[in-house]
Structure 1
Amino acid sequence: MGLVLPSVRTMITQAIGSRLVLTMRILVAGWHGQVARALSERSVVRDDVTAIAVGRPAFDLSSQPSIGRSLFGIEPDVIIKTATYTDVDGAEDNPDRARQENAIGAANLAADAARRGIPIIHLSTAQVFDGNQIKPYMDQDLAEPVNSYGLSKLAGERAVASANSKHLIVKTGWIYSPFGQNFVTTLLQRARTQANIDFVADQTALPTYSIHLADALLELAATATGQQDKSLFGTYHLAGAGCASGYDVATKVIQASADQSGLATSLRTISYKEVESRSRRPQHTCLDNTKVKEKFSIYMPNWQDGIEECIKRIL
């Protein structure tokens, strides 16, 4: 599918050399997270995108005036909401905070965007599913969260869909990056000081490289902007290709880094039931990307390729 260009009314034109380039303005809600940083990085290499990341204190999702000022000043063609409360155990202790940030804040942003005719891409999680299904979840499968974090994210999905008809709700997987604290960077830190590390072998998800996800989100944004075909709006799954356990990913990380770092950590398998946690975690949260392939011709790279690219940047 070809990209649908933004409406002329909301475009900025830039002269680059002898070419006239139409630049899409994207407001990235949330500027410190892995996906927001990846979006900022990947937008720089494209001459058709200007990504503007915003966050607290200037941009506060709990404040409608704050949201309004940002949308009025930036005049985005599309919004990508990456800001989220991600502390799964913390959500059990403070479910109201999780709901405020993941649901009410999302509703505020989606509603203001709708009043201005701006499409919104809302990033969600596979943890809205109960994890009892071994095969990958389809977009239309019933969401039944098993913890407060999942409940807050599902409430956010529903709030966005209700507030703004021009929505793309994107459930993704287990995000990792060359920056920030995540599974890969934490593992490498531990491997430098620990001879043996335990990893869960019977809990599966889709490891998703933030750079690959950012590229796909930018393609979705380009298509959503100025889109008149309402059938393209809705819920999609967008995650790294291939299901894996924590042990699978850890093994790949150690293998990919061995030549460059000399790490020789021994990995041992355990069951997810042995992991102490204040919150219940779904066991299987793999996602099926078929719908986004069919509707947008977006194909996510496999997670092994993402790990190798990520390790090369870190080491």
Structure 2
Amino acid sequence: MSYIGRFAPSPSGPLHFGSLIAALGSYFQAKSQQGQWLVRIEDLDPPREMPGASSLILETLEAYQLHWDGEVVYQSQRHELYQEQINRWLQSGQAYYCQCTRKQIKASGGFYTGTCRDLALQNHQQCAIRLRMTHPIYQFEDQRHGTLSIPTALADEDFIIKRRDGLFAYNLAVVLDDIEQGITEVVRGADLIEPTGRQISLYQMLDAEPVSYLHLPLALDESGHKLSKQNHAKAIDNSNPKPALLDAMSFLGFDIDKEIQSASVEEIIEWGVQNWRVEQLPKATEITPIFSNRSL
């Protein structure tokens, strides 16, 4: 089977240093295996999106010479696919309506315990939709970190596939999209280790072959917080991409000599493809980067 990877940012803001690490890791892993690298915009949550962010993300990828294969896919254009699957599960009884609030679940210990599972609720307007957990995943194999464990309470939980506000849940959308696009491996940040168990469960419920997973270290700021749009991480520079590119590649374990540092962005990316090895990645799942070429 030929390799198909992807980079799937959400358009809640421009790409920052942490996003660049995920983009580079997924790109190098795909291209080092002569595979395809797809881009999918995960625009599932309009209230959290920044106007123009989708176009800005694509411009940034081009500025850093990260050229994708095929057409860009937008989750906002795929609602019908998600709803059709939910309808099949509702009809079969695999999914059900749930009226429990976050406050109620927090009061009962923080995990949903199946309160509405057998109530046969029909009040669609005030309910989320949950999936009966019939294939819990307690551990999985990561390409760099080996066996990773999922907390039992999380693995056993009937999780939401459509929210009370009518928005589709990330776990459902990402798995349906990865299956339809033929993704063979998911390379992403270590902050998504815990949802991986639920996603593998979905593959099994859908009788689909799960993908392999490679989780990259998270970049932390000086306060120990993940670099993210929510934490106001600074956007990377489209007009001068080389400094951030070199720092991100050093973060990913590349030993970059002066000759490579003086090359063009395109040449640096090609060198990265030729010299990429999963074994070079740090074993840690969280790292505070040392910025030799730029500052946050």
With the length of structure 2 as denominator, give the TM-score of the two structures.
0.31
* Larger strand fraction of residues: 1
With the length of structure 1 as denominator, give the TM-score of the two structures.
0.30
